[in-house]
Amino acid sequence: MALISEVAEKIYEIKPEGREHEIFPLCTVYLVVDDRIALVEVGSSVQIPDILQAVAKLGYDIQDLSYIIPTHVHSDHAGGTGHLARQLPRVKVIAHPKAARLLADQSIIDRMLQSRKLVFGDDADKRFGGMLAIDEDKFVPVDEGAAIDLGQRKLTAIHTPGHDPNHLCFMDSKTRGIFCGDALGGFFSESNSRALACVPGSDPQLILESMRKLLQFNPDLLFFSHGGARADASRIIQVALNDERRGADIALKALQKGANNEAVSRRLAEILARESIFSAEELLVFPYFTSLSAEGYRQYFNKKHMIS
């Protein structure tokens, strides 16, 4: 059973049960209720029963869902979209035009699931569930500045490449909160721990640019997809910016000296431990927190011929 709470006016957080940093890479999803209802993120397909239960418990009918809005194509955010959309004949899926093309193609999805196994192990399909392509006519492709009208509130798309090239954040006009997906990495309030936004396939320069862009919106709230809602938005974006800048710097220097991923992870954990209740050693024990970022930096700097 998921944990359900209203984190802002008619915005309900649906979070898988367990300690925040331990349920990663499962995703926190948000039900936004207005004249029309939207679901921001679906998470992995294993999360769908929780979502159905939560929606019913809150007194809504899942068949009244107008929009499913995965912030980007990664399977821990968009994984369950195809399964859920097939159960809802009237629902539309909001995505960046390029993300929509990827999510409509089962052969591309199958390749994504193959690479998921490399990161999360051979049993990833079993642990997180499969991923189904979405019919092209289900999509409403949106890009920078497009507004999704829910009635009394609008969700405005902000293109935030870096973590993923086709990543969108959405600003809610009613609460001035931003659904930030993975653009700012993860933020786990219980332990005051961050996960960096850089993963394999990321562009660290674009991550910084997108973070600066989000800062310009001066949001009152942030709705993290890994972690939950936070009110000290500007401060958190600033912390994320500093961590990401230092992370990229330190990773590049270490990699240029021939450090392996384990050594890079250790340096990244030292950065993240400064604000966390966990020590660097403890952060290193959590799977994916720093190892994914270390590999992300290695792949990026390699592609740019900045390391050999």
Based on CB atoms, which residue is closest to Zn ion, 116 or 153? Answer: 116
Which CB sits closer to Zn ion, 182 or 203? 182
Q: Cβ-closest residue to Zn ion?
A: 74
Q: Where are the alpha helices (DSSP H) in the chain?
A: 20-23, 48-57, 75-78, 81-87, 97-103, 106-120, 124-128, 204-216, 233-256, 261-273, 280-285, 291-303
When the beta carbons of 74 and 230 are compared against Zn ion, the nearer one is 74
Give min distance, CB of 25 to Zn ion, in A.
8
The contact pattern for Zn ion, residues 96-115, with x = CB under 5 A and - = no contact, is --------------------
Q: Which residue has the tokens 């997180």?
A: 128
CB pairs under 8 A, 24+ apart, for 279-287?
A: 283/193, 286/21, 286/22, 286/24
Distance, in Å, from the CA atom of 258 to the CA atom of 43, rounded to the nearest integer, reads: 36
Q: Give the CA distances from residue 300 to residues 75, 241, 308, in Å, rounded to whole numbers and listed in that order.
A: 21, 18, 12
Q: Is 267 in the site for Zn ion (CB under 5 A)?
A: no
Query: Interface with Zn ion by CB under 5 A: which range of 12-20, 57-65, 73-81, 286-294?
Result: 73-81
219 cis-preceded (ω within 30 degrees of 0): no
Pairing of strands 221-224, 229-230: antiparallel
For Zn ion, which stretch binds (CB under 5 A), given 19-27, 53-61, 177-185, 267-275? 177-185
Burial (Cβ within 10 Å: 0-12, 13-18, ≥19) of residue 82: buried
What single-letter amino acid sits at 83? Answer: H
How many whole angstroms separate alpha carbon 182 and alpha carbon 39?
16
For the sheet containing 29-33, what is the strand order?
A: 3-8, 11-15, 29-33, 37-40, 65-69, 92-95, 139-141
Looking at the Cβ atoms of 183 and 255, the one nearer to Zn ion is 183
> Least distance (Å) from Zn ion to the CB of residue 253?
26
Pick the closer one to Zn ion by CB: 71 or 191.
Answer: 71
Question: Which residues, at least 6 apart from 19, have a Cβ–Cβ distance to it below 8 Å?
Answer: 190, 191
Please report how close the Cβ of residue 71 comes to Zn ion at its closest, in angstroms. 8
Nearest distance, CB of residue 210 and Zn ion, angstroms = 13
Q: Which stretch binds Zn ion (CB under 5 A): 86-94, 107-115, 128-136, 175-183?
A: 175-183
Shortest Cβ distance from residue 27 to Zn ion (Å)?
A: 9
R_g of the chain, CA atoms, integer Å: 18
Residue number with CB closer to Zn ion (172 or 182) = 182
Give 33 or 70: the residue with its C-beta nearer to Zn ion.
70
| Residue range at the interface with Zn ion (CB under 5 A); choices 85-93, 125-133, 176-184, 274-282 | 176-184
Q: Min. distance of Cβ 195 from Zn ion in angstroms? A: 10
Total residues contacting Zn ion by CB under 5 A comes to 2
Shortest distance, position 132 Cβ to Zn ion, whole Å: 19
Does the footprint of Zn ion cover residue 74 (CB under 5 A)? Answer: yes
Selected binder of Zn ion within 41, 125, 172, 182 (CB under 5 A): 182
Q: CA-to-CA distance for 47 and 49, rounded, in angstroms?
A: 6
Using CB under 5 A as the binding rule, whether residue 226 contacts Zn ion is answered as no
- Closer to Zn ion at the Cβ: 11 or 195? 195
Name the residue nearer to Zn ion (CB basis): 41 or 182: 182
Non-local (6+) Cβ contacts of 101 within 8 A are none
Residues in touch with Zn ion (CB under 5 A):
74, 182
